[in-house]
């Protein structure tokens, strides 16, 4: 089967493209690994300085073919398209250049005949509000994939609370990047079942608007632009800010707080000291009906300690393709509701796409917990 | 094909401008490339059957000779003689790759080498140089870049038609030529000359000095590869295939 995807790729013939996944690498290490696969094992890998000199010039294009399988028996074929945004140029200063790259990747997907396109990581952030700048697209729908991302973040929080024996209804939730598409979606889903909700972002006007929306549903909400003001009070934290690099310091944080880092790139600074915090990476799902890349980019394009784990944003496009629903399921900022999340989760689950096992920088979270418990019992 | 300036003319930089010696080497590379292009089109005319194609090729050869002369004239304006060496290590190999297609009377192969590979390099790097070079030097590079782009369009139409007949065969052929021609161009554009002097620069290699005129080899290689990939995209060769080709080039 992997063979047949590969042969299609090799023959370079026109094939049906059900979905396209638009992405970019979040570190130079990841970019180097992608180029190493392309160079092949018989050539020496490119030195780091050459990678930094070459990658920014590569026009957006497909890197590999992807085949997604469903537990319902159907398959969908697609392309992974990289916009080749240099990992250290995600800052606002490069916005125009990066919008052009994402537009190029979108144009590539349209030209390839993709029926649905998922905009991964910063792609959706850059193109949101600029959809009119995309080339004319007759039969190509675009989705940010943020609804399924929110679904997996929320599922992860609930699972972690259950694993830790926390009562979510008595917990205080802090969302960093609360007014974003992902952050506000999480707020809408979780606020009704939390004791208290703290919202943080830089723009206070947008924070006020979101707070008013949630308060109208009878939720206790507070806002702050300075996240450190809040962090000690939160039992559960979702980090969903569009940070160009892992630079978030939560400051003093409640011991044993559950922290979900859903950023791409990650939000939390590696130097963030959070003794006792239960950190996990959120927004990730696992496709159990099979995932194949040609050439073989397993573990390179999806760098996770479990097989077939993919970011929710990209999985949303695959789920919609497997379902044969080529529609802009997630588009625009601030429209993600509990109802929409349930709808996409149902579609995803029908095809065997579920929440991925939880993990963090130190490895799997659940095994760690299991071990901790077993060891203390022993 | 007569070189505009004899191959081993003694080169003396007489200009007072401190960057003149750098421009001299840049012009020498450009001029050598133009002379190679002129020679290639002249050879192409010899294998064309169609009188229209013959006339086209000869016209292109004339145009490229004009470009070479324009570069020589720009050198004189800044007080330097612009040398050229079509027998220089890399250029010689590029010419030989083209001549293999001529020997095989392979018109399509010739277009691929000259119009897709060599011209991608010329168009992109001239445009880049055009942005930073002062005064008429900059304008000349920019206008020649634009002219090169124009004649690429004509070849593209022929090549797209050819690819439509048998895409796989066409792509394999491009790949075969890529291995020879683009590998040589990649070595020329490498940050360091790993296998000795290029035999075009008048003293030591100009590459380490390029920053003095706001250029760099990394940038010239970057724009050239970008232009090449975009040209291959227009031909319809799948992007994931051409990405692998480029990723495998030497650095
Ligand atoms: N895990 C996954 O599968 C997925 C992860 N993501 C990631 O989630 C994150 C959010 O995406 P999305 O919601 O679409 O982005 P948006 O642009 O919609 O929202 C970004 C949010 O972050 C806030 N923010 C930006 N900079 C800062 C800062 N320096 N400090 C505090 N808050 C900040 C913004 O508010 P303000 O400007 O007012 O500060 C806004 O609330 C990104 O990292 C994205 O890559 C996205 C999709 C899938
Ligand atoms: Fe020319
Ligand atoms: Fe040199």
**C-alpha A81 to ligand 1 mean position (Å):** 22
* Window from A83-87, A136-140, A164-168, B30-34 with minimum mean pLDDT: A136-140
Pocket of ligand 1 (CB under 6 A): A 121-122, 124-125, 146, 149, 176-183, 201-203, 206, 240-243, 262-264, 283, 311-313, 333
CB within 8 Å: A62 and B239: yes
* Distance in Å, alpha carbon of A102 to nearest chain B alpha carbon: 15
Cis peptide before A295 (omega within 30 of 0): yes
Which candidate, B36, B227, B26, places its Cα nearest to that of B129? B26
| Largest distance between two CA atoms of chain B | 57
Q: Which residues of chain B have pLDDT under 70?
A: 1-16
> Ligand 2 mean position to B35 CA, how many Å?
8
Name residue, tokens 């003293």.
B203
Give A86's contacts in chain B (Cβ within 8 Å). none
- How far apart CA A201 and CA B33 sit, in angstroms, is 56
CA distances from A118 to A137, A146, A338 (A): 14, 9, 20
pLDDT band at A278, cuts 50/70/90?
A: very high
Q: How far is CA A315 from CA A66, A146, A284, B231, in A?
A: 12, 10, 9, 32
Q: Helix (H, G, I), strand (E, B), or coil: what is residue B170?
A: helix
Q: Report domain extents, chain B.
A: 19-247
Q: With CB atoms and an 8 Å threshold, state whether B225 touches A57.
A: yes
Tokens for A130, please give them: 């600029």
Radius of gyration in angstroms for the set of CA atoms belonging to chain B, rounded to a whole number:
17
pLDDT at A273 over 90: no
Q: Which chain B residues are closer than 8 Å to A47 by Cβ?
A: 251
Torsion of CA A120, A121, A125, A126, to 10 degrees: -80
Q: Which of A34-38, A47-51, B208-212, B224-228 has the lowest mean pLDDT?
A: B208-212
**What does the pLDDT look like over B195-247, one tens digit per residue?**
778 787 877 888 889 999 999 999 999 999 999 999 999 999 999 999 999 99
CATH architecture of B19-247: Up-down Bundle (1.20)
Q: How far apart are alpha carbons A262 and A148 in whole angstroms?
A: 12
What confidence tier does A14 reach under pLDDT thresholds 50, 70, 90? low
Q: What are phi and psi of B221, to 5 degrees?
A: -65, -45
Contacts of A57 in chain B (CB under 8 A): 221-223, 225-226
**Six-digit token pair at B22?**
């750098």
- Give the gyration radius of chain A's Cα atoms: 20
Whose alpha carbon is nearest atom 18 of ligand 1?
A180
Instruction: Measure CB to CB from residue A39 to each of B225, B239, B247 and give the nearest one.
Output: B247
**Partners of A200 in the β-ladder:** A176, A224
What percentage of chain A has pLDDT greater than the value 70? 93
- Residue B167: CB atoms within 10 A of its CB come to 18
A186 pLDDT above the threshold of 80: yes
The set of residues, in sequence order, having a beta carbon less than 8 Å from that of A212 and lying 6+ positions away, is none
Interface test with A, best of B242, B243, B250 (most A CBs within 10 A): B243
| CA of B110 relative to ligand 3 center, distance in Å | 26
DSSP H or E stretch at residue A310: strand A309-311
Query: If you average pLDDT over residues A95-121, what whole number do you get?
Result: 95
- The answer to whether the Cβ–Cβ distance between A61 and B191 falls below 8 Å is no
Q: How far apart are the first and last CA of chain B?
A: 33
Amino acid A265: pLDDT: 96
CA separation for the pair B213, A232 (Å, rounded): 55
Task: Categorize the per-residue pLDDT at A366 as very low, low, confident or very high, splitting at 50, 70 and 90.
Answer: confident
Do the chains contact at A63 and B243, CB–CB below 8 Å?
yes
Size of interface A-B (CB pairs under 8 A): 67
Summarize pLDDT for A213-260 with one digit per residue, the tens. Answer: 999 989 999 999 999 888 889 999 999 999 999 999 998 888 899 999
Please state, in angstroms and as integers, the Cα–Cα distance from residue B105 to each residue in A176, B37, B58, B100, B206, following that order.
66, 17, 17, 9, 37
CATH architecture assigned to A150-283+358-377 = 3-Layer(aba) Sandwich (3.40)
- Distance from C-alpha of A59 to C-alpha of B227, rounded to nearest angstrom: 9
């Amino acid at each position: 089967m992997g063979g047949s995807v590969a042969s299609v790729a090799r023959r370079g013939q026109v094939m049906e493209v059900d979905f396209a996944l638009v992405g970019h690498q979040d570190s130079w290490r990841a970019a180097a690994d992608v180029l190493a696969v392309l160079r092949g094992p018989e050539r020496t890998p490119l030195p780091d300085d050459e990678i930094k000199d070459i990658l920014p010039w590569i026009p957006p294009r497909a890197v590999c073919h992807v085949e997604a399988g469903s537990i319902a028996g159907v398959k969908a074929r697609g392309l992974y398209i990289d916009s080749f945004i240099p990992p250290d140029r995600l800052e606002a200063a490069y916005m125009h250049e990066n919008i052009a790259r994402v537009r190029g990747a979108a144009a590539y997907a349209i030209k390839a005949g993709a029926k649905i396109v998922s905009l991964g990581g910063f792609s959706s952030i850059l193109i949101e509000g600029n959809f009119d700048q995309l080339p004319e697209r007759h039969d190509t729908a675009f989705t940010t994939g943020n609804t399924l991302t929110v679904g997996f973040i929320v599922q992860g929080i609930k699972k972690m609370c259950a694993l830790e024996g926390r009562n979510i209804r008595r917990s205080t939730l802090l969302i960093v990047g609360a007014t974003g598409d992902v952050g506000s979606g999480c707020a809408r889903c979780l606020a009704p079942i939390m004791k208290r909700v703290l919202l943080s972002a830089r723009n206070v006007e947008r924070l006020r608007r979101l707070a008013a929306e949630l308060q109208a549903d009878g939720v206790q909400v507070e806002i702050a632009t300075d996240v450190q003001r809040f962090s000690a009070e939160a039992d559960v934290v979702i980090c969903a800010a569009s940070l160009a690099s892992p630079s978030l310091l939560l400051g003093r944080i409640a011991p044993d707080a559950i922290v979900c880092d859903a950023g791409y790139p990650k939000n939390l600074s590696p130097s963030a000291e959070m003794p006792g915090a239960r950190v996990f990476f959120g927004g990730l799902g696992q496709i159990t009906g099979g995932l194949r890349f040609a050439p073989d980019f397993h573990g390179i394009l999806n760098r996770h300690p479990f097989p077939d784990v993919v970011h929710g944003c990209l999985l949303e496009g695959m789920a919609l393709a497997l379902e044969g629903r080529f529609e802009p399921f997630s588009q625009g900022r601030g429209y993600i509701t509990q109802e929409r999340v349930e709808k996409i989760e149902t579609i995803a689950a029908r095809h065997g796409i579920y929440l991925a096992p939880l993990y963090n920088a130190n490895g799997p979270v659940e095994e760690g917990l299991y071990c901790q418990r077993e060891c203390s019992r022993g | 094909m007569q070189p505009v300036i004899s191959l081993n003319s003694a080169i003396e930089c007489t200009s007072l401008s401190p960057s003149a010696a750098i421009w001299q080497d840049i012009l020498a590379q450009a001029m050598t490339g133009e002379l190679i292009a002129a020679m290639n089109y002249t050879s192409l005319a010899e294998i064309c059957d169609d009188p229209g194609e013959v006339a086209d090729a000869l016209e292109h050869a004339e145009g490229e000779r004009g470009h070479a002369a324009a570069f020589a004239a720009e050198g004189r304006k800044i007080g330097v003689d612009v040398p050229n060496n079509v027998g220089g290590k890399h250029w010689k190999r590029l010419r030989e790759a083209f001549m293999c297609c001529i020997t095989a009377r392979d018109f399509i192969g010739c277009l691929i080498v000259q119009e897709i590979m060599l011209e991608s390099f010329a168009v992109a790097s001239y445009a880049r140089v055009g942005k930073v070079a002062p005064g008429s030097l900059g304008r000349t590079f920019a206008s020649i870049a634009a002219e090169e782009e124009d004649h690429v369009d004509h070849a593209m139409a022929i090549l797209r038609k050819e690819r439509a007949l048998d895409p796989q065969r066409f792509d394999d052929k491009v790949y075969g030529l890529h291995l020879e021609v683009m590998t040589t161009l990649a070595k020329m554009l490498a940050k360091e000359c790993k296998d000795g002097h290029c035999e075009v620069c008048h003293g030591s290699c100009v590459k380490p000095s390029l920053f003095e005129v706001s250029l760099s080899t990394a940038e010239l290689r970057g724009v050239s590869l970008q232009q090449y990939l975009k040209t291959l995209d227009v031909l319809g060769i799948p992007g994931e295939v051409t990405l692998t080709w480029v990723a495998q080039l030497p650095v």
